[in-house]
Each structure stands twice: as C-alpha cells, then as structure tokens.
C-alpha cells in the first residue's frame, strides 16, 4: 500500500511538472514574419457655392468694421477616410451677375487674397455639405456703380488645411 501511495504522489508530481511545462511553453510561443499595409491617398475636397447673405456694400473710408461684411460661404465635401482641418482660404477670380437691366463690372468687387481662418474648420471623414464661412473675403470699392445693388457675386475660393 505504501508503494502505490508513493507511486501516486510521484505520478501526480510528474503530471504537474509536465502540465506546467506545456502551459509555460504556450506563453512563450512566438513567430516572426512580414505584414503589409497601405497608406491612403488624399483626395481633393469638393467646394460649391453656399447660401450668400446680402452683406456687401461700398467700403466706407473708415472700413467695414465687421468681418461679416464681404463674407463668402461655401459647402465642402470631404471624401477622404480621415478628417481634415481647414486653416485658410484663398480668394481668386470674382464674377458679378447684376440684376436684370443693370450693370456692375467685376472690378467693383475685390477678393482679399489668402485669409487665415480665425477658427479652423474641422471636416469629418467622408462628410458632405459642411458649411464653411470665410469672413471679410470680399470688398466692394467705394465708388461702385449703382447697378451693383442686389447683384449676385461669385468668387473662386481655395480652402487649405491638413489631415486632422
């Protein structure tokens, strides 16, 4: 009886050592090899005209006094799989469509070049129709023709920023 009790204890000890060794080996398993990924390519934003406000008028000698005068508004689509933060706008060519029977030369309105956005605009990934307002983007010359009243004004705008 002593021999079988001793054999049982030894057998249990060997099972514990072997089982512990297997469990230990499972924790130490590793492998090395290669993996791959691919960076996304940035796609240009789509910028379309937003809903304008009737805020532009001939510039007084003292200036406008408010950034809301001459603001332009655009709707922006970000087709990228990452968010984009817009930090500036560059105003390019300006065109004017006067009301029927009136005249208003394009030279009556001036785009103010590159404008830093005081508050950067965050465009979520894969977003559409985000409204971006660029304050103080346009000025009307002080001697603008009377026919410029009520005219529609379109400005080329380039929005710039980086992935966020």
Q: For residue 99, how many C-alpha atoms fall within 13 Å in the half-sphere facing its CB?
A: 7
Confidence category of residue 5, pLDDT binned at 50, 70, 90: low
Residue 28: the pLDDT is 85
Summarize the confidence of residues 16-32 as an average pLDDT.
66
pTM: 0.75
Confidence category of residue 54, pLDDT binned at 50, 70, 90: confident
Nearest CA-CA partner of 86 in 134, 29, 36, 50: 134
Using CA atoms, how far apart are residues 104 and 97, in angstroms rounded to an integer? 8
Do residues 87 and 117 make contact, with C-beta atoms less than 8 angstroms apart? yes
pLDDT at 141 over 70: yes
Which tokens in the block code for residue 30?
């590793």
Higher per-residue confidence, 162 vs 18: 162
Summarize the confidence of residues 20-30 as an average pLDDT.
66
**Dihedrals phi, psi of 37, to nearest 5 degrees:** -155, 175
Question: Helices marked H in 29-99 — which ranges?
Answer: none
Domain residue ranges of the chain, discontinuous segments joined by +: 46-163
pLDDT at 94 over 70: yes
Residue 4: the pLDDT is 67
Residue pointed to by tokens 């006094």? 65
């Amino acid at each position: 009886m002593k021999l079988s009790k001793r054999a049982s204890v030894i057998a249990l000890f060997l099972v514990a050592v072997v089982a512990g060794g297997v469990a230990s080996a499972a924790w130490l398993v590793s492998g090395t090899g290669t993996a791959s990924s691919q960076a996304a390519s940035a796609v240009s934003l789509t910028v379309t005209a937003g809903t304008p406000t009737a805020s532009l008028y001939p510039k007084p000698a003292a200036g406008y006094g408010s950034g809301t005068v001459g603001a332009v508004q655009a709707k922006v689509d970000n087709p990228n799989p990452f968010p984009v933060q817009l930090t500036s706008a560059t105003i390019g060519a300006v065109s004017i469509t006067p009301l029927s029977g009136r005249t208003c030369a394009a030279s009556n309105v001036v785009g103010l070049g590159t404008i830093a956005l005081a508050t950067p605009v965050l465009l979520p990934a894969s977003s559409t129709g985000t409204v971006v307002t660029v304050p103080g983007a346009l000025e009307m010359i002080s001697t603008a023709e009377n026919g410029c009243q009520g005219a529609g004004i379109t400005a080329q705008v380039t929005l710039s920023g980086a992935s966020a």
